[in-house]
Structure 1
């Protein structure tokens, strides 16, 4: 918030929009989080509120600027965006893999309807795979 105010004075709604924009739309702060934080920053003399056009507008103070210089803002959102993009790619790949698997299983199921031996083998295989998957994910959750 101090970084946003270091560029220009803003009222609460502008701060909410600014933070949403900085997060690429992934985080939309609520008035219930913005205004108490602004009040805390004001109590610490890091921002100063003034009424402009009937709206409470906040500006960073000298103490706030010093505070910001002493503690440079990390850029977690950049790595967050990279991580999010990577997760979306993985999700797309997983969805594609699942769709391909369903296609293969549907084909094998259709083929097995004409051959009781194939049906028994497919059923056995599916039970084994289902058990292994369930067991694998239970192990992961326990860790």
Structure 2
């Protein structure tokens, strides 16, 4: 039976991995930073949990020791994630189209300070669909 504390730790670890892949020590450090040092999980609580999550298929561990969340892990915490993790490619395209409407409403003058960033985003999208 999983204790209340361990249940929260599981969801916190999965949430952190949904943000970016991490090593176990990075997870410990991130939790410590998030709690302003009030809570720093021990390696004895993090690494067995990571092993269980990997065995359950909610995360994977690469050869370099970096853990990544899987689709199963995302589904486990989907109620706590922003909509972009819940949708399909169709949902993402619809969000992108809505953002384009927003940018058009803002007008060119308001977008000029962000020109370089917008060009980088456009270039990334073009590389994805080439």
More strand by share: 1
Q: How far apart, CA to CA, are the structure 1 residues paired with 2:34 and 2:49? A: 17
Structure 1's unaligned 5+ residue stretches are 74-143
1:45 to 54, 57, 62: 57
Counterparts of 1:85-100 in structure 2, within 5 Å, are none
Highest Rg: 1 or 2?
1
| 1:60 paired residue number | 69
Counterparts of 1:66-105 in structure 2, within 5 Å, are 66-70=75-79, 72=80
Aligned residue pairs total 69
Q: How far apart, CA to CA, are the structure 2 residues paired with 1:8 and 1:51? A: 17
Point out 4+ residue stretches in structure 1 off by more than 6 angstroms: none
Q: How far apart, CA to CA, are the structure 2 residues paired with 1:29 and 1:5? A: 16
Query: TM-score under structure 2 normalisation?
Result: 0.50
Question: CA-atom RMSD, angstroms?
Answer: 1.3
1:30 aligned onto 2:42: yes
